[in-house]
């Protein structure tokens, strides 16, 4: 794991504002915190440059036509191919999440596909044909009820 930087209350406050709305103006954050705009700007710039935060627009997959969203657990054999399989999966445009896991399966990947046929193609024709993929187990999300960023208050 990467070493955690030390953040103060102002850093957490800036991150909280930007986490709720990445377009929040530094002027508003400065006003709300009683801090100068230049301080907010320099702190936010540092948080962006050290990759603590990444400002992006999150889209709603359903609104765009991604109607098949699934998690796929993958067992790799032999184990020394885990990194190789993970690197190939990283190239999948459908992938939204990839993690190395413990237990029966070595990798877990989340994919967003247009429809069930697209999902079946990803699982049966692409993932299962990667050298080292031993078996997989898929769970399709019927409805995503909550999709959130981590609650920064848990670290305070």
Does the reported pTM lie above 0.75?
Answer: yes
Helix (H, G, I), strand (E, B) or coil at 92: coil
Question: Rounded to the nearest 5°, which phi and psi values hold at 150?
Answer: -65, 145
Q: What is the CATH number for 33?
A: 1.10.10.10
- Residue-wise pLDDT for 20-39, tens only, equals 999 999 999 999 999 999 99
Output the six-digit token pair for 4.
């955690």
Q: Are residues 65 and 34 in the same domain?
A: no
The confidence score (pLDDT) of residue 4 equals: 60
Q: Are residues 17 and 68 in the same domain?
A: no
What stretches of 13-156 adopt beta strand conformation (E)? 68-76, 95-100, 107-113, 133-141
Q: Which residues of the chain have pLDDT under 50?
A: 1
Question: Is there a contact between 88 and 95 (Cβ–Cβ < 8 Å)?
Answer: no
Question: Is there a contact between 100 and 107 (Cβ–Cβ < 8 Å)?
Answer: yes
Q: What is the CATH number for 118?
A: 3.30.70.920
* Domain limits for position 78: 61-141
- Residue-wise pLDDT for 116-136, tens only, equals 999 999 999 999 999 999 999
- Other residues' Cβ atoms within 10 Å of the Cβ of residue 33: 15
Rounded alpha-carbon distances, angstroms, from residue 101 to 75, 104, 108, 111, 122: 10, 9, 7, 17, 21
Is the residue at 56 inside a domain?
no
Q: Are residues 39 and 69 in the same domain?
A: no
Q: Are residues 69 and 40 in the same domain?
A: no
């Amino acid at each position: 794991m990467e070493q955690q930087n030390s953040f103060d209350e102002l850093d957490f406050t800036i991150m909280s504002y930007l986490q709720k709305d990445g377009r929040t103006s530094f002027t508003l954050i400065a006003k709300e915190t009683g801090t100068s705009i230049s301080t907010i700007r320099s702190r936010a710039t540092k948080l962006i440059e050290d990759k603590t935060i990444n400002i992006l627009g999150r889209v709603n997959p359903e609104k765009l036509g991604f109607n098949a969203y699934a998690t796929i657990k993958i067992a790799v054999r032999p184990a020394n191919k885990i990194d190789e399989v993970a690197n190939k999966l990283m190239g999948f445009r459908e992938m939204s999440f990839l993690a190395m896991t413990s237990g029966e399966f070595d990798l877990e990947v989340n994919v967003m596909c247009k429809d069930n046929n697209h999902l079946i193609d990803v699982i049966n024709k692409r993932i299962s044909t990667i050298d080292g993929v031993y078996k997989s187990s898929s769970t399709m999300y019927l409805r995503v009820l909550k999709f959130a960023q981590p609650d920064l208050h848990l670290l305070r």
